[in-house]
Structure formats: structure tokens, C-alpha cells
Structure 1
Amino acid sequence: MKVKYVRVSSLEQNTARQEKNESEFDRVFVDKISGAISFFERPQGKKIVESVKQGKITEVHVSSIDRLGRDIIDVLTVCDFLTTNQINLFVENIGMYSLIDNKKNSAFTMVTSVLANVSSMERENMLERQRQGIEAAKLRGVYRGRLYGSRMTTEEFLNKYKKVATELKNGESLRRAAALGGVSLGVAQRVKQAMLEQN
């Protein structure tokens, strides 16, 4: 089965551009979710993973590599999962397949690694600009932060990011735990701090 994976970050965003060639596929999987969330934790991402494990999928197409994720580790983990299962991944905007004659395409690996790294850097830059905007708003006295009483307890916070906490307990690095949990490195650091406070 030849399928396409489509992702947009929010419910309001239109998927038409990514779905323009949907008639070429046996099925199109659409996630409306942040790219920071691990592919393996997304509703449609999970369905693809399950279909791959059941041997139902032979080829996966995406419009661009950042549809798989905004974190380089997550993107490479998805690529490795598909390659290991002999699933050919095609990235439309670069016109490349991950496998050639059922063998790993080294050029694809190199190009997608660079693109995934750029995507990851773009996201970090966006978060940094957001932090700077908040700081500037605080200096002007117009930033109000969280609503009064909305602050989570340590237990609630750790429960919200249970996957990250589990990975850290299992000895994973902050960066790896963040990727597996589909969160930013900053959130993983706060999870680790919360774990220390709880102990």
C-alpha cells in the first residue's frame, strides 16, 4: 500500500496544498498537530506505525521532511524506523527516495539530515524570539503570564509529561528524552528539575 502523510500544526490550517495529489495514493493520513510532538505519539502517525508493523504499507510520501517532525532526532528516528522495515520514504520537495533497489540511499540520508537540522534550528529560533518577546512585554508591563491559579503542581506537571519523565528515569539524555516525548529541550529540563524536587 502506497500512502501519504500530511501534517499541519493547527486545526485551522488548510491541508489542500499537501493533499493535491491524493488520488495517487491508497490512503492519506492527516494529522493536525504540532511538529514538536513525536511522530510516534501523533494519532495518524501511530496508525502508520501500526500499519507498517502489520506489513500493510510499502511506501510513504511526505511533501517535506519537516512534516515528520521539527526535531532532528525525531525525524531521523522515523526515517530509521521506515528504512529498517523496508518502507520507501519519498520526500516530494527534494524528489528523493530513502531506498534505491531496496538498499539505503546514502544521499537521501545526508540531505534529509541537513534539512531536519535546519528545521530544528528554525524552531529553536522561533522559540527564542518568543522568549525575547515575552521579556520585552514584561519590561513594558504588558505581559500578564499565566492566569491566576492556573499553575500546575509538581505532580500535575510530571503527569502531563509522563513520557519524558519515564525516559529520563530510564537513563536517556535530556535531548533524547525531549525527542521521544515530543517536547522542547527546555520542557525536558523542567521535567528533570521537577523530578529532583519531588524526590
Structure 2
Amino acid sequence: MNAVIYARVSSTNDRQSTDRQVSDLNGYASKNDINVVKTFEEHISGAKRNEERPILCECLDYCIKNKVDILLISELSRLGRNVDEVLANVKRCKDNNLNIYFQKENLSIFQADGTKNPFLNIFISVLGTCAEMERENIKFRLNSGRAKYIADGGKLGRKEGYRKPKEQKEVEYKEVIKELKKGTSVRRAAKLCDVSVSTVQRIKAEFNL
């Protein structure tokens, strides 16, 4: 059985790594005599729409085109944090007979006998709805805390005259710099690295790229 691994983290810098996900999934494949033919790794928010996640799109296209048996993902949230987007990906895989295995949840689209898992869509909907509610709660708490801070006389933003050291930018925007060095356009680099166009333009100018 041939498999592809897809791993994702939200951070575009070195704060997060896909190494653990890839290692765990390779371990699972090895124990189950599954041959991993390719690994896709993406640094982008799971809240993005499917079409805004180029590596995920490339991964699914590769699996379908090459008739890969199973796509290995560490947990459901790696596929996306929006219920509709996740369900759309699952449907596409179902329609093309591509199985997906979510390691944390121990769930897959197709069961051992080849039949569709009757609980998967229900599980996705419930889990996704809970995740969306939690995000809204976090957003509410952040906005509430920010409003109180301002009401108490606090000021948001950087101190006047502050400039981030170039060395810090080099680390923080490593992926942006890498894309620009490859000749990627400003807008494309911004989309791939999940930053604003103006940020990419500033990095391009500062590093003479």
C-alpha cells in the first residue's frame, strides 16, 4: 500500500515545526507495512480556505493523479479548521477513492472492508463546530482584554521610534526571503507565507531582493 504524508503547522517561522508529525506518521506507516512515497509539509493557518493553501492543493492533486492508496495526517485539524472546507476535502477524496487516515482520532474515510466510515462526517462536524466556538471565545477574550487595556489608558502598538532588528527579521521572515530569492512574485510570496503584501515589499527592499 502506497501512502503520502501531509503535515501542517500554522507558524510561518521557526516557532513551530512539522518534524514531530512527520516522524509519528512515518512510525505508523512502518508498523503497518505502508510505503510512504512522498511527504508534503506546509506552514500556513488551517483557517485559510482550501484554495489559499497551495501545498495542500498540490498534495491532493498528487495523490489523485498518482492513485495513492492513503493520505496520512496526524490529526483532523491539520486538514483544516473550517468544517465546510474539511468536508469538501473529504468529499473530494471519497469521490476519487483516496483514503485518509487521521492518526490522533484513529479515523479513516474508508474502513478495512472498503466501506465508507459512517461516523466520519458526524465526527468532523461536531469537532469542527467545537473548534470554531473555541476560536470565537478566544477572539472575544482578546478583544475584551484589549478594550479594557485601552480604557485604562494603555496604548497599543510599538513604542515610538522602535525598529525591529534586521537579524530578527531575517529569522522571522525566513520563508519570505527564501521565496523572494527563488524569484517568487511579491503577491505570491505573501500568499504562500501568510503575510501581507506590504510586509513582503518591505522585506524585499530591506534585503535588496
* TM-score normalised over the length of structure 1: 0.66
Residue number in structure 2 paired with 1:125? 137
Name the SS for the 1:27 alignment partner.
Answer: strand
Please give the alpha-carbon distance, in whole angstroms, between the structure 2 residues aligned to 1:146 and 1:81.
Answer: 45
Alignment of 1:39-188 (within 5 A): 39-100=50-111, 101-144=113-156
Name the SS for the 1:134 alignment partner.
Answer: helix
Deviation, 1:49, is 2.6
Structure 2: stretches of 5+ with no match in the other structure: 30-35, 160-186, 188-209
Deviation, 1:108, is 2.1
Supply the AA of the counterpart residue of 1:33: I
Please give the alpha-carbon distance, in whole angstroms, between the structure 1 residues aligned to 2:87 and 2:138.
Answer: 21
Contact 1:70/1:123 (<8 A) preserved? no
Please give the alpha-carbon distance, in whole angstroms, between the structure 1 residues aligned to 2:143 and 2:3.
Answer: 41
Supply the AA of the counterpart residue of 1:113: S
Structure 1: stretches of 5+ with no match in the other structure: 148-159, 161-199
* TM-score normalised over the length of structure 2: 0.63
Q: Does 1:17 align with 2:28?
A: no
Aligned residues: 150
After superposition, give the CA deviation of every residue in 1:145-170 in whole Å (9 maximum; x if it has no partner).
Answer: 699xxxxxxxxxxxx9xxxxxxxxxx
Please give the alpha-carbon distance, in whole angstroms, between the structure 2 residues aligned to 1:44 and 1:137.
Answer: 39
Residue identity (%): 30
Supply the AA of the counterpart residue of 2:18: T
Residue number in structure 2 paired with 1:150? none
Deviation, 1:39, is 3.1
Q: Alignment RMSD, CA only?
A: 2.6
Which has the higher relative contact order, 1 or 2, with Cα contacts under 8 A spaced 6 or more apart? 2
Contact 2:25/2:73 (<8 A) preserved? no
Contact 1:61/1:90 (<8 A) preserved? yes
Contact 2:4/2:38 (<8 A) preserved? yes
Residue number in structure 1 paired with 2:43? 32
Contact 1:64/1:92 (<8 A) preserved? yes
Please give the alpha-carbon distance, in whole angstroms, between the structure 2 residues aligned to 1:140 and 1:84.
Answer: 56
Q: Indicate how the Cα distance of structure 1 residues 146 and 82 shifts in structure 2: closer, same or farther if over 3 A, else same.
A: farther
Please give the alpha-carbon distance, in whole angstroms, between the structure 2 residues aligned to 1:114 and 1:46.
Answer: 24
Please give the alpha-carbon distance, in whole angstroms, between the structure 1 residues aligned to 2:21 and 2:124.
Answer: 19
After superposition, give the CA deviation of every residue in 1:150-191 in whole Å (9 maximum; x if it has no partner).
Answer: xxxxxxxxxx9xxxxxxxxxxxxxxxxxxxxxxxxxxxxxxx
Supply the AA of the counterpart residue of 2:100: L
